[in-house]
Amino acid sequence: MSGRLAGQAVLITGAARGLGRATALACAREGADLVLTDVCADLPGVPYPLGTTSQLDHTAALCREQGAAVLTTAMDVRDGDQVRAAVALAQERFERLDVVVNNAGIAAPSGRPVHEISEEEWSLMLDVDLSGAWRVIRAVGAAMAAQRSGSIVNIASTAGLVGYRHFAGYVAAKHGLIGLTKAAALDLAPAKVRVNAVCPGSVRDDAAVEGRMLAEIARSLEVPLAEHESAFLAAQPMNALVEPEDVAGAVVYLASPESRQVTGSVLTVDGGFSAR
């Protein structure tokens, strides 16, 4: 452990599995104390199971093995009251909040052309993937500004940089998240609070973190599960899928004092996909 986040309290949304778990473990190894949240329930309209309480508890147990103090709580980023309650709980436990990682997100409902998306599907995607991050930023902004320090890291996607067929809602939400990142960075810069985004490419579904996002994207595109990794691999200039720890490492950098002059930036971790 190098202790790059020693003494810092880090809140991570969508921490039950996947990139959220990988990020939590990376932060724990760097000495952070953690507030881990997830919806811990399925959402009507999302065609796959979301993170569970048991998965969130498992993430917490793995982080405690690294020496981290950990607080867990269920939180739906669509609900402003739940978001404010979780932030208050974090501040009560650790007396401050130094880093927020907005990782909660959904990849579906998707898989249809833009003119076939329903009002409900469009609203659900933006409410979770874009407005959810805004609600968290709103809840932590004043406290971070008062302590005159803080780092907010939004997990966007290459879908925030380029378009994808049959994913209009997801693409719109992630493009919006990058815009939110830049605007919030300017608003909070006078208070020495930094806001940045990470744009992962095709991340391998690592069983160790119970990742399933790539498989769900493939399902939406009707790509057979047995072929989905090779299908995404074909589009990777570096001939490799991104690993969860690659993204987690980028988050740790943006959370740490090493990036103290980095704000309003977009760090792409996609093996060169968006460089074409």
Active site residues: 170
Residue given tokens 């739906």 in the structure block? 76
Cα–Cα distance for residue pair 162/268, rounded to 1 Å: 12
198 contacts: CB under 8 Å, gap ≥ 6? 153, 154, 155, 156, 247, 250, 251, 254, 266, 267, 268, 269
Q: Smallest Cα–Cα separation from 109: which of 235, 205, 221, 13?
A: 221
Q: Compute the Cα dihedral for 71, 76, 78, 79 and give only its sign.
A: negative
Q: Smallest Cα–Cα separation from 33: which of 77, 80, 96, 102?
A: 96
Cα–Cα distance for residue pair 200/276, rounded to 1 Å: 15
Kindly list the distances between the CA atom of residue 240 and the CA atoms of 10, 224, 232, in Å, as whole numbers in the listed order.
30, 19, 9
94 contacts: CB under 8 Å, gap ≥ 6? 9, 33, 35, 69, 71
Q: Structure tokens of 274?
A: 């968006």
Q: Are 33 and 94 in contact (CB under 8 A)?
A: yes
20 contacts: CB under 8 Å, gap ≥ 6? 12, 13, 14, 36, 38, 51, 59, 101, 103, 104
End-to-end, the C-alpha distance of the chain in Å comes to: 36
